[in-house]
A and B are shown apart, each in its own frame.
Chain A
Amino acid sequence: NAGVTQTPKFQVLKTGQSMTLQCAQDMNHNSMYWYRQDPGMGLRLIYYSASEGTTDKGEVPNGYNVSRLNKREFSLRLESAAPSQTSVYFCASSEIGGEYFGPGTRLTVT
Chain B
Amino acid sequence: QVQLVQSGSELKKPGASVKVSCKASGYTFTNSNMNWVRQAPGQGLEWMGQISTNTGNPTYAQGFTGRFVFSLDTSVSTAYLQISSLKAEDTAVYYCARVNWYFDLWGRGTLVAVSS
A and B form one complex: no
